[in-house]
């Protein structure tokens, strides 16, 4: 991705940056382009700005087609009918910047690399914080860049390390030694193989699947298992952190090597918010993790001991992000679950609108409280996270003013977010995060101050311990840097030191 982590002060949710999907078929008379389309459609939630695919055409050429827009628009029937190849990879992208230069097709993926020695296409989800350093070294070695992206840095690094060898697993092993970042990468080679690689800490999800029909065998690699479901594939397993997988239309799927570390840093936000609920990530069902998050919130909730509230309470999710958590909470609390907020599905990107008044109007257009079920009730409102707090404040107001709620008790499945993400998630800056800002201002009473600011009658966040318990992974397996401020990558620590010293010099 272009190296910028956050694109402006408008949104109130972090954003995942990309999705990747690959297919290899052992029947050279069969085109996988429609399967790439189906996989990418299922992964649309991970990137909506642009999409692209690379296919190995008969004769060994790689053809890449990529455009701005949703999958259904870019890969329409007319385009798909012209794209032919039995092996291919695809990518969905989110914009991380509004800068003009980044709308050039060079900045879209897959990134198709070709020189006199090597040709391949690469699709990447993640970020490489030390990319500028690597770029400088590669430029000093005479490499010429056409973009300012970590994607191209990876491609140029691969090209450099491939001089004199065709041993792809070894090239990728060496590549990973230089990359201090979060990444899931798939590569289509001109020999018709796909290589999939996940960083040794396993920040980004990646999994493999297959479909054996009797007529032909198909092998898949996908950011999430819902992509494999969408092509009727059988989910086989997750790619392990640090693993390099070879997917060959001639030789099936096999693991080339696993570059081990003694701990992992799987992004906890995948379970809380990013991933589709029907996906399984690193052996854990996302919907079940979310329901457990709701259950643990209910187990610790003091208001459930107050019969004045419980006799009058309903559990309401913020659609769609709070739904599974609310189901888990309601089940544990033995309270009715009611979809008391109607979402208008035809309004896109509510949280992208600039300006407080426009955002407020947009929330009203997008969400409507159903007065007949809300009025006079104690609403236990469930959502996944509070980032800036602006949208949540408006939702609480809406429930009270338009819905006639008696009280609103806000329950959040993610602990307070106090630090930005430098691992490829598009996040607001620290000064915009309400929990960080209020902690600096109010110290230990910051949660009560957030409650007052949002206008809720009570506020309960998930604890970090219950978060790990709900995901069924230990602290040593998860990245929780946005909750703790402790980052698992050396290159991020360097960036933070620089940012801190800039911030200090300004005060
Ligand atoms: S900092 Fe937060 S959002 Fe970023 S990778 Fe870690 S857990 Fe995920």
Domain shared by 117 and 62, yes or no? yes
Q: Within a domain: residue 57?
A: yes
Q: Distance between the two ends of the chain, CA-based, in angstroms?
A: 32
For the segment 120-129, the average pLDDT, to the nearest whole number, is: 94
User: Does residue 245 share a domain with residue 345?
Assistant: no
Residues 297 and 257 occupy one common structural domain: no
Q: Looking at ligand 1, which residue's alpha carbon is closest to its atom 2?
A: 482
Q: Which pairs with CB-CB distance under 8 Å and at least 24 residues apart come from 340-347?
A: 340/314, 340/316, 340/369, 340/370, 340/373, 340/374, 340/379, 340/399, 340/403, 341/316, 341/317, 341/367, 341/368, 341/369, 341/370, 341/395, 341/399, 342/367, 342/368, 342/369, 342/370, 343/319, 343/367, 344/368
Q: Is residue 301 part of a domain?
A: yes
Report how many domains make up the chain. 2
Q: Is the CB of 248 under 6 A from ligand 1?
A: no
CA–CA gap between residue 451 and residue 282 (Å, rounded)? 34
Domain of residue 396, CATH code: 3.40.50.2020
- Whether residues 189 and 126 fall in one domain: yes
Over residues 85-106, the pLDDT tens digits come to 999 999 999 865 444 455 578 8
CA-closest residue to ligand 1 atom 5: 267
The average pLDDT across 206-231 equals 96
Q: Is residue 506 part of a domain?
A: no
Specify whether 253 is located in the same domain as 292. no
Active site residues: 18
Q: How far is the CA of 137 from the centre of ligand 1 (A)?
A: 28
Would you place residue 369 in the very low, low, confident or very high pLDDT band (cuts 50, 70, 90)?
Answer: very high
Q: Tell me the average pLDDT of the chain.
A: 90
Residue 101 lies in a domain: yes
127-154 tens-digit pLDDT: 998 899 999 999 999 999 998 899 999 9
| Ligand 1 contact, 267 CB (< 6 A) | yes
Q: What pLDDT shows up at residue 260?
A: 81
Tell me, yes or no, whether 322 and 456 share the same domain: yes
H or E segment and range at residue 221: strand 217-222
Task: Tell me if 65 CB under 6 Å of ligand 1.
Answer: no
Whether the CB of 425 sits within 6 Å of ligand 1:
yes
Provide the CATH number for the domain around residue 115.
3.60.20.10
Residue 497 lies in a domain: no
Domain that holds residue 384: 287-473
Is residue 492 predicted with pLDDT exceeding 90?
Answer: no
Q: Is residue 58 part of a domain?
A: yes
> Is residue 213 domain-shared with residue 326, that is, in the same domain?
no
- Is the same domain home to 436 and 302? yes
With a cut of 60, say whether residue 382 has pLDDT above it.
yes
**Ligand 1 centre distance from Cα of residue 415 (Å):** 12
Model confidence band, residue 463 (pLDDT cutoffs 50, 70, 90): very high
Instruction: Name the band, by pLDDT with cuts 50, 70 and 90, for residue 363.
Output: confident
What mean pLDDT is predicted for residues 29-57? 95
- Distance (Å) from CA 203 to ligand 1 centroid: 8
Check whether residue 240 and residue 294 sit in a common domain. Answer: no
H/E stretch holding 220: strand 217-222
Which pLDDT score is estimated for 121?
A: 98
Return the closest-CA partner of residue 417 out of 16, 13, 5: 13
Query: Do 346 and 469 share a domain, yes or no?
Result: yes
Question: CB–CB of 22/61 below 8 Å?
Answer: no
- Closest by CA to 231, choosing from 438, 24, 453, is 24
What is the DSSP-derived secondary structure letter of residue 467?
H
Q: Could you tell me if the CB of 482 is within 6 A of ligand 1?
A: yes
Do both 224 and 146 map to the same domain?
A: yes
**Confidence bin at 366 (pLDDT 50/70/90):** confident
Ligand 1 pocket residue status of 421, Cβ below 6 Å: yes
pLDDT of residue 278: 97
Kindly report the protein residue whose alpha carbon is nearest to atom 8 of ligand 1. 267
pLDDT of 247 > 80? The answer is yes
């Amino acid at each position: 991705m272009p190296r910028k982590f956050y694109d402006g002060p408008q949104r109130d949710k972090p954003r995942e940056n990309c999705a990747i999907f690959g297919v290899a078929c052992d029947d050279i008379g069969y085109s996988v382009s429609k399967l790439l389309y189906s996989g990418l459609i299922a992964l649309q939630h991970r990137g909506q700005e642009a999409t692209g695919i690379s296919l190995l055409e008969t004769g060994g050429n790689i053809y890449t087609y990529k455009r701005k827009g949703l999958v259904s628009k870019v890969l329409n029937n007319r385009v798909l009918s012209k794209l032919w190849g039995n092996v291919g990879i695809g990518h969905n992208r989110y914009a991380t910047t509004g800068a003009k230069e980044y709308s050039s097709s060079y900045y879209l993926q897959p990134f198709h690399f070709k020189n006199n020695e090597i040709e391949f296409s690469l699709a990447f989800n993640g970020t490489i914080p030390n990319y500028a350093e690597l770029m400088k070294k590669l430029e000093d070695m005479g490499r010429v860049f056409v973009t300012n992206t970590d994607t191209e840095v990876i491609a140029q690094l691969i090209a450099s390390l491939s001089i004199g060898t065709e041993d792809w697993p070894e090239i990728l092993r060496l590549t990973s030694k230089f990359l201090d970042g979060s990444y899931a990468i798939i590569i289509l080679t001109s020999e018709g193989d796909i290589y999939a690689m996940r960083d040794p800490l396993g920040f980004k999800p990646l999994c493999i699947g297959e479909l054996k029909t009797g007529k032909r065998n198909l092998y898949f690699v996908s950011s999430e298992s819902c992509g494999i479901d969408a092509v009727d594939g059988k989910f086989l397993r997750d790619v392990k952190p640090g693993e390099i997988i070879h997917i060959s239309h001639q030789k099936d799927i096999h693991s080339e090597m696993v570059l081990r570390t003694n701990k992992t840093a799987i992004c906890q936000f995948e379970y809380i918010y990013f991933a589709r609920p029907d996906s399984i990530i690193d052996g854990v069902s996302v919907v079940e993790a979310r329901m457990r998050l709701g259950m643990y919130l209910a187990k610790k909730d003091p208001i459930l001991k107050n019969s004045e509230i419980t006799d009058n309470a309903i559990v309401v999710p913020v659609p769609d992000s709070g739904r599974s958590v609310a189901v888990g909470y309601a089940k544990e609390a033995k309270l009715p679950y009611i979809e008391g907020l109607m979402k208008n599905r035809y309004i896109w990107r509510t949280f992208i609108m600039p300006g407080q008044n426009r955002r407020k109007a947009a929330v009203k257009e997008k969400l409507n409280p159903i007065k007949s079920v809300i009025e006079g009730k104690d609403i236990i409102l469930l959502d996944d996270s509070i980032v800036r707090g602006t949208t949540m404040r408006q939702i609480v107001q809406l429930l009270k003013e338009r819905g006639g709620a008696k009280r609103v008790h806000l329950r959040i499945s993610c602990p307070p977010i106090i630090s930005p993400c430098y691992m490829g998630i598009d996040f607001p800056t620290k000064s915009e995060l309400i929990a960080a800002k209020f902690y600096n201002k109010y110290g230990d009473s910051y949660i009560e101050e957030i409650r007052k600011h949002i206008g809720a009658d009570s506020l309960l966040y998930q604890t970090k311990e219950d978060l790990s318990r709900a995901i069924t992974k230990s602290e040593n397996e998860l990245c929780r840097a946005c909750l703790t401020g402790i980052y698992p990558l050396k290159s991020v620590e360097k960036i933070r030191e620089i940012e801190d010293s800039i911030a200090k010099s300004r005060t």
